[in-house]
Homo-oligomer: A and B are copies of this chain.
Amino acid sequence: MARARSEERRAEILRATLEVIAERGYRGATLGAVAERVGLTQQGLLHYFPTKEALLVAVLEDRDRWDTGGGGRGGEDGAWRLELLGSLVEYNAMRPGIVQTFSALLGESVTEEHPAREFFTRRYTQVRAGMAATLRAEYGETLPGGLTPERAAVLLVAVMDGLQYQWLLDPEAVDMPEAFEDFLGLLRGGGSGPQAP
Contact = CB atoms under 8 A, between A and B. Distances in A.
Report the interface size class on chain A: 35 or more
Give the most central of A110, A161, A168: most B CB within 10 Å.
A110
Interface stretch (A47-55, A74-82, A144-152): A144-152
Interface stretch (A8-16, A119-127, A130-138): A119-127
Interface string A75-97: 00000000000000000000000
Given A25-B111, A111-B100, A179 B154 contact: yes
A154 B169 contact: no
Interface of A: 25-28, 100, 103-112, 117, 120-121, 124-125, 128, 142, 144-147, 151-152, 154-155, 157-163, 165-166, 168-170, 173-174, 178-179, 182-183, 185-187, 189-193
